[in-house]
């Protein structure tokens, strides 16, 4: 692991790091904020998965999470959204290829070699973080935005018991039922829609997966809400299955980091309450 940069902020250290990933076969960059803490202490960790076209830098620079993480003693980890590099295949569209990994392990060519973001986030990066940072891996939370909200929900639902807290900002709740998901999962996973269910939060809940609790914030002025995000499908799936969930529709807010940063402090506090019990 190589340190790209470190900066003092909010009584802690904001770092950016990179390493060679065995899962993606590329160099991967991520950011970690570590609040000040007693020597030898282990802190809970909150994973943040970013959305389409983003890197680790978007939330690191615009997410406004550090004050809340410092207050509550929570480490914040933000990985990239996809593999990158000259040898990595790409697509002309912004919603597929580099910057649009969808947190899946691709099975279709030419994507299968490098696009293994599911295994990277679920297995490789946690091991690296545990080896280099003072994290208590028994106290993990996960959140994300848009495509990253889809990633946070599905990763938590597939890994029962790993995460004490799960939240999302404007998540893609059902790739099976939206154009973004149809394009991405057809391209990465293939035409068999039955194989897509493990990458669809609503389908996972319908199939019996559960998390302890769930918090979702969705802006009502979000231009992607009706066609792509379809938050009502998650509300219906949770209600039908008895999955505890607080799904808040926020009047006037859009899909941007103005929206995310407004509610980030509340999400960090919500996670911290569950991670520090």
Q: How confident is the model over 78-89, as pLDDT tens digits? A: 999 999 999 999
Residue 47: pLDDT above 90?
yes
pLDDT score of 181 more than 90:
yes
Which is catalytic among the residues 82, 145, 222, 267?
Answer: 222
146-176, pLDDT tens digit by residue? 999 999 999 999 999 999 999 999 999 999 9
Q: Under 8 Å CB-to-CB from 118, ≥6 apart: which residues?
A: 103, 104, 105, 155
* 169 three-state secondary structure: strand
Is 146 noted as a catalytic residue in this protein? Answer: yes
Q: What is the mean pLDDT of the chain?
A: 97
Q: Which of 146, 165, 167, 174 is the catalytic position?
A: 146
From the list 145, 255, 267, 271, the catalytic residue is: 255
Instruction: Count CB neighbours of 254 within 10 A.
Output: 16
pTM: 0.97
Check the CA dihedral 266-270-276-277 and report its sign: positive
pLDDT for 277 beyond 90: no
Euclidean distance between CA atoms 126 and 163, whole angstroms: 12
pLDDT at 69: 98
Label residue 51 by pLDDT band (50, 70, 90).
very high
Is 255 known to be catalytic? yes
Residues 56 and 27: beta-carbon distance below 8 Å? no
Q: What is the pLDDT of residues 21-42, one digit of tens each?
A: 999 999 999 999 999 999 999 9
232 part of the active site: no
pLDDT tens per residue, range 199-232: 999 999 999 999 999 999 999 999 999 999 999 9
């Amino acid at each position: 692991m190589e340190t790209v940069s470190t900066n003092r902020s909010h009584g802690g250290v904001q770092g950016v790091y990179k390493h060679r990933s065995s899962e993606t076969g590329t160099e991967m960059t991520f950011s970690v904020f570590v609040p000040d803490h007693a020597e030898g202490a282990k802190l809970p960790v909150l994973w943040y998965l970013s959305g389409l076209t983003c890197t680790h830098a978007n939330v690191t620079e615009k997410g406004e999470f550090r004050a809340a993480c410092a207050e509550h003693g929570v480490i914040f980890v933000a990985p990239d959204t996809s593999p990158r590099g000259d040898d990595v295949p790409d697509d002309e569209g912004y919603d597929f290829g580099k910057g649009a990994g969808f947190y899946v392990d691709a099975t279709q060519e030419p994507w299968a070699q490098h696009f293994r973001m599911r295994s990277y986030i679920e297995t490789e990066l946690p091991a690296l973080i545990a080896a280099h940072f003072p994290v208590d891996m028994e106290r993990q939370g996960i959140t994300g935005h848009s495509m990253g909200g889809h990633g946070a929900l599905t990763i938590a639902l597939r890994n029962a018991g790993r995460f004490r807290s799960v939240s999302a900002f404007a998540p893609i709740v059902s790739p099976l039922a939206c154009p973004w998901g149809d394009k991405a999962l057809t391209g990465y996973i293939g035409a068999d829609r039955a194989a897509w269910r493990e990458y669809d939060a609503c389908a996972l809940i319908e199939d019996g997966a559960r998390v302890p609790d769930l918090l979702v914030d969705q802006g009502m002025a979000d231009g992607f809400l009706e066609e792509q995000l379809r938050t009502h499908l998650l509300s219906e799936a949770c209600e039908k299955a008895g999955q505890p969930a607080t799904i808040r529709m926020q009047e006037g807010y859009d899909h941007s980091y103005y929206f995310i940063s407004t509610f980030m402090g509340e999400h960090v506090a919500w996670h911290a309450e569950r991670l520090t019990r």
